[in-house]
A and B are shown apart, each in its own frame.
Chain A
């Protein structure tokens, strides 16, 4: 069965936002561009998991996502595929929030 889903529906997930905050912190505070590049090129579930592992290891002093979010994000990868999830995470990392 084919189902159409918009990126917005994925984006509003709490786990995505949690990881987005983590990536934002990594890029703009710790200058960790390697994680961004690796995430952009992650195509399979294994490479995605490896990328997440490296991201967390490199930025252990910065913003870290909750353990629950980690489980949730891997579930989302199973359901919707890597490409949609990585686009949502990078999109969140790129934006700034109006206060």
Chain B
């Protein structure tokens, strides 16, 4: 058993006390930070090695206290999902800086993200469909007797894809949750999330993949261009007799509120 894993078992409380305020660790860096814990720790990301020198670069080492904190975070907050063709996606709902989340809800939040029948066409569709499922639950919980007030600022996601011997980072980024946060306040929010879910589920069927890809693109970057592309694909799928419902006007109105365009006016 390594020193770090001993610390994880015995000194977790002390480590939390140690990190009660943000400070730089004075401990010696001894533990290796691996890619599943932090994608940016991968060799190729930190060091420019291609065509410069003939070695693989070195791993990133951190202090044992940092490593323990990292493991605790990975166990409780990170949700791992699988995409066919050997890709693993990590999703971390990042709590809002001001309002934050209740730590006791973390397990439930992780379960809400890992439901069955998610759209796994691409990394972005999977991340956004998971976000929809989570917010659908949050919408219901907000209207419970003991309402949840958890607020997220964004989703941090990253994916590892299987290479010859080990997994390599494929993509990563932040997903803004502004749209979903606004929909939480809307009265017919549940119906809207349900329709979003329906679009992603319809996008699983062969021949309808473009529908979910364009919709994910629209929700990630809501503007007139992405909306027009999505609208065009939606209309064609509908007219072709595809497995998709005609949208309710009340739902579509809420979607259109997010489509903003800049116009130049002469004064």
Residues of A in contact with B (beta carbons under 8 Å apart): 1-8, 11, 27, 33, 36, 40, 79-81, 83-84, 87-88, 90-92, 94-98
Main secondary structure of the interface of A (DSSP, over half): helix
A7 touches B239 (CB 8 A): no
Residues on the B chain within 8 Å of A1, using CB = 264-267
Known contacts A83-B224, A87-B224, A94-B231; A4/B249 CB under 8 A:
no
Q: Which of A11, A33, A83, A84 interacts with B239 by CB under 8 Å? A: A33
A6 touches B249 (CB 8 A): no
B74 at the interface (CB under 8 A from A): no
A27 to B238, CA, bound (A): 11
Interface readout for B241-267 with A: 1 if CB under 8 Å, 0 if not? 000001111101100111111111111
A-B contact pairs, 29 of them (CB 8 A): A1-B265, A1-B266, A1-B267, A2-B263, A2-B265, A3-B264, A4-B262, A4-B263, A6-B258, A7-B257, A7-B259, A8-B257, A11-B256, A40-B228, A80-B263, A81-B261, A84-B263, A88-B256, A91-B231, A91-B252, A91-B256, A92-B249, A94-B235, A94-B238, A94-B246, A94-B247, A96-B248, A97-B249, A98-B249
Known contacts A8-B257, A84-B224; A94/B252 CB under 8 A:
yes
Known contacts A40-B232, A87-B227; A4/B260 CB under 8 A:
yes
A12 to B234, CA, bound (A): 21
The tally of residues in B whose CB lies under 8 Å from a CB in A reads 28
A1 to B257, CA, bound (A): 22
Q: Residue among A7, A36, A83, A87 with the most chain B CB within 10 A?
A: A7
Q: Which of A2, A90, A95 interacts with B264 by CB under 8 Å? A: A2
Residues on the A chain within 8 Å of B257, using CB = 6-8
A39 to B263, CA, bound (A): 20
B231 touches A90 (CB 8 A): yes
Residues on the B chain within 8 Å of A33, using CB = 239
Q: Which of A2, A94, A96 interacts with B262 by CB under 8 Å? A: A2
A6 to B255, CA, bound (A): 10
B263 touches A6 (CB 8 A): no
The 5 A-B residue pairs whose C-beta atoms are closest, nearest first, are: A7-B259, A95-B249, A8-B256, A7-B256, A8-B257
Residues on the A chain within 8 Å of B248, using CB = 95-96, 98
Nearest B-chain residue to A27, judged by Cβ: B239
A45 to B159, CA, bound (A): 45
A91 to B258, CA, bound (A): 14
A13 to B249, CA, bound (A): 14
Known contacts A94-B231, A94-B238, A98-B250; A87/B259 CB under 8 A:
yes
Nearest A-chain residue to B235, judged by Cβ: A94
Residues on the A chain within 8 Å of B262, using CB = 2-5
Q: Which of B234, B256, B264, B267 interacts with A6 by CB under 8 Å? A: B256
A2 to B235, CA, bound (A): 31
A90 to B227, CA, bound (A): 11
B235 touches A90 (CB 8 A): yes
A81 to B252, CA, bound (A): 21
Q: B11: shortest Cβ distance to chain A, in Å?
A: 53
A83 to B267, CA, bound (A): 22
A94 to B230, CA, bound (A): 12
A27 to B234, CA, bound (A): 14
